[in-house]
Amino acid sequence: MVIGLARSGVAAAKILAEKGAQVWATDSKLREQIDLSALAGTEVSIIAGAYPQVADLAPDLLVLSPGVPHTIPPIQEGIELGIPLWSEIELAYSLADADIVAITGTNGKTTTTALTGQLLADAGLRAIVGGNIGKALTLEADNTAPGEIIVAEVSSFQLECIHEFRAKVAVITNITPDHLDRHGTFENYAAVKAKVLENQQAEDWAVLNYDDPLVREMGMQAKGKLLYFSREKDLEQGIILMGEWLVIRDGGREVPVIDRREILMRGGHNLENAMAAAGVAWALGLKPEQISSTLKAFPGVAHRQEFVADIKGVRFINDSKGTNPDASIKALEAFDEPIVLIAGGKNKGCDFTEFMTAARTKVKDLVLLGMAAAELEEAARKVGITRIHRMGSFEEAVDRAAALAVPGDTVLLSPACTSWDMFDSFEQRGDLFKELVRRRPRDKA
């Protein structure tokens, strides 16, 4: 039984049916609300609008889509019946013939994943990018061959129910509070992230952020070769800064890679992403000149501090991928000019105090919307922000932000919240922002 019929669940159901399994696929949404086109022609039995009694079907395996909380009845019933529970990435691992690079963390994992895929592709390796970015990992895994590499962005939701999933190279970018509505406590959330290390063996690699105390401590769990990266400390072993140079120290070697000023992506957080990806590339045998070449050319990813347009001296930046306060703080820190900030959406159990403290010195006007608007406004007023504008729709928010901006300002969409109160995904939210900006008349901001 596959539970949850978003992208990952549909992919899992399709693959399992093609492999000869009898598959039930279920979702609480009505059938007409689900895109089932990929299952056309398969023998998958669809149960939509309500969950079935698991005992009545007696499945041998439950496969869970990442977005499905473990509190729902079929999962609780499956646990009571002793039926194995697999994340979709556990199924993908069982199908894959390729080695897996698994990249997780609270922030930076999408950029690090895309950059790692580009590094490997530029070096002539067959790298397949999937997971929480791009195509469902199950679809990618089933088409792999030995010698290929899957570069997978993996979320805490995907790591919850792994059993044998093993990464040849595991990366943890950082850990800050996120998804507390799902995991309950920060400690639970961090423990799930650390599961990416649990099945590694002596010949595998862990690439970890030394500057994050919690991630640094996770290095104690590494079973293979450990490569820290740090932009703050002079490590004897790891990826460091020496002056302006990114340098890899490994096994007594000291290898200069690139002057940080030549890295195309801007900002300290992107320097960390570059270090993490360089660590993966090094672990997989790339030469420093190959790493340098890609870092000089890689522009970043969509929806992460993505430049949209300059209209009469006002820059519009799409950071829809900023779905938690820490990510949005990093976005604020990347800009020196006055910011008109669009924030809000659905909170994931996060505290907005630190975010609003950062906004106080960076933001001239705060435009709020969505379910979390009241929480954000309360946090903003507590730290002394007064220029606050509450809007009823996303379109109104973009219009108001543009009207408030003057030449030299930046209008920044960095919500610090998920998109799920108004959109299906942060990509849909970011795409609408870009469309609304590009529609704006060019004779006025």
Residue pLDDT, tens place only, 163-191: 999 999 999 999 987 766 766 788 899 99
Would you say the pTM of this structure is higher than 0.85? Answer: no
Q: Which residues contact 394 (CB under 8 A, 6 or more apart)?
A: 369, 422, 429, 432, 433, 436
Residue 36 is encoded by which pair of tokens?
């089932």
Q: What secondary structure letter does DSSP report for 135?
A: B
What are the φ/ψ torsions at residue 358 (nearest 5 degrees)?
-65, -40
* Composition of the chain by helix, strand, coil, percent to 5: 40, 20, 40
State the pLDDT at residue 265: 87
Instruction: Give the mean pLDDT of 260-264.
Output: 93
Give me the residue label for tokens 């960095």.
414
Domains and CATH numbers, the chain: 2-83 (3.40.50.720), 89-295 (3.40.1190.10), 306-439 (3.90.190.20)
Bridge partners (DSSP) listed for residue 368: 343, 390
Give me the residue label for tokens 């730290």.
383
Continuous segment of H or E residues that includes residue 213: helix 213-218
Statement: residue 93 has pLDDT above 60: yes
Residue 173 is encoded by which pair of tokens?
């970018």
- CA atoms of 207 and 228, how far apart (whole Å): 6
The single-letter code of the amino acid at 6 is A
pLDDT band at 444 (very low <50, low <70, confident <90, very high): very low
Rounded alpha-carbon distances, angstroms, from residue 277 to 139, 141, 180, 240, 321: 24, 21, 27, 13, 19
Supply the Cα-derived Rg of the chain in whole angstroms: 22
